[in-house]
Chains A and B, each alone.
Chain A
Amino acid sequence: AQTVTQSQPEMSVQEAETVTLSCTYDTSESNYYLFWYKQPPSRQMILVIRQEAYKQQNATENRFSVNFQKAAKSFSLKISDSQLGDTAMYFCAFMKRNAGNMLTFGGGTRLMVKP
């Protein structure tokens, strides 16, 4: 079974600064996908960014980018120019391809952006 570990339960960052959230995963698979989801206080789960394991190029979405290190099984999320609206729980998730496409989530990191 796959496991996803987020070692930082809580983090904080000043508005406009950059913060990096860590995620590691354990798998013997070679074909998989990785995701970051954001859960603001409204509790809605929002997809932030996804990465395909066979692509070496790191995914980016506006202020959000990832550092995907396949050999190290690491998938960190970098948030640039942090905004107050980025305050949320962030979940890293793993999906093994062709196995029901089920997501396995990490325990989450609570990020607070301070003004």
Chain B
Amino acid sequence: DAGVIQSPRHEVTEMGQEVTLRCKPISGHNSLFWYRQTMMRGLELLIYFNNNVPIDDSGMPEDRFSAKMPNASFSTLKIQPSEPRDSAVYFCASSLEGVEGYTFGSGTRLTVV
């Protein structure tokens, strides 16, 4: 398996633009997680899907953020409109049972100027 695949690896955008981050989980994994990493706040869970259904989105910072998982092999995290404070590394991770630990993607470094 190629692991969890995220795209793009880097994204630079202007304030106010829409940004879409993509994730392909490991085939067969039934849970998918989006995390954000910043120097100030560390690793924060944004949203969690189980069997394609959003279970907990309490970490989504505000309405500008939305996430979807239309099928078991694809998820998106969208920011609209983007702001400079959204600059961070966004990780997607997947797991089968969870207790074995997650497999993380390589992350997307987002810079909003």
Contact = CB atoms under 8 A, between A and B. Distances in A.
Given A44-B106, A45-B91, A95-B98, A100 B48 contact: yes
Q: How large is the interface on B (under 10, 10 to 19, 20 to 34, 35 or more residues)?
A: 20 to 34
A33 interface: yes
Contact of B43 (A35, A46, A91): A91
Interface string A59-90: 00000000000000000000000000000000
A95 B107 contact: no
Given A45-B91, A107-B42, A101 B106 contact: no
Interface in B15-73: 31, 33, 42-43, 45, 48, 50, 55-56
Contacts of A91: 43
A33 B99 contact: yes
B101 to A, nearest CB: 4
A110 to B, nearest CB: 11
B33 to A, nearest CB: 7
Q: How large is the interface on A (under 10, 10 to 19, 20 to 34, 35 or more residues)?
A: 20 to 34
Given A35-B101, A43-B89, A44-B106, A101 B43 contact: no
A43 B106 contact: yes
Interface in A93-107: 95, 97, 100-107
B1 interface: no
Given A43-B107, A44-B106, A97-B99, A102 B56 contact: yes
Given A102-B45, A103-B45, A108-B42, A44 B104 contact: yes
Contacts of B45: 102-104
Contacts of B106: 42-44
Given A91-B43, A102-B45, A103-B45, 6 more contacts: A33-B99, A43-B89, A45-B107, A47-B101, A97-B99, A102-B98
Interface of A: 33, 35, 42-47, 50, 52, 91, 95, 97, 100-108
Interface of B: 31, 33, 42-43, 45, 48, 50, 55-56, 89, 91, 93, 95, 97-104, 106-107, 109
